[in-house]
Amino acid sequence: MRNQRKPGNAIRLPGGIRLLLGFLCAVALMAVIGGCSLATERQKQLYDDEAELAQEGDTFTYVKRVGETSNESNTVSFSSFYGMETIWFIHASAKGNVNFLHQQEINGGRFKLLAIGPDREVTTLAEGDSEGKMELKVSPGTYRIKFVGNNAKGRVKTEIQADTGIRIVAADH
């Protein structure tokens, strides 16, 4: 009979556990109110830094990213995107053209689609809300196509096609 509780009576936790639960709730509330970001300072500051954007590696953070990338297309929706992410590698064995058909709906922050050439030259293909067709003239070498964001939120759909002698490969992450 001692271990039975009456219906409607709350279970009372020992003081140490109550204190710990209160502390955890306060930390969670501060994180939500403060809008904590997982992005590094480097990711937050590279949007306009062409020397940094031309680097080989990637550095990026998404709070949410849903979508797919293939050798022919990319469809993705995202939020709180910071940094740079390589989407495709373009391997050109001869001069030619790469065509992009794209639609970008950006609802917040800053977002752009870049091409980085073998000589590390940075070309902005699209920025912000954008829709249309673009052509990138390529010479022999490897090009990289990147997403770049600064607290970006939105949806992007891109189709990519190339002339003969140009191979497009989706980046693995």
pTM: 0.77
Phi and psi of 17, rounded to 5°? -70, -40
Residue 68 β-bridge partners: 75
Residues 86-115: b if buried by 16+ CB within 10 A, e if exposed: bbbbbebeeebebebebebebeebbbbbbb
pLDDT digits (tens, 9 = 90+) for 136-145: 999 999 999 9
Which residues partner with 93 through β-bridges? none
| Domains of the chain in sequence order | 41-170 (2.60.120)
Residues 148-167 pLDDT 10s: 999 999 999 999 999 999 99
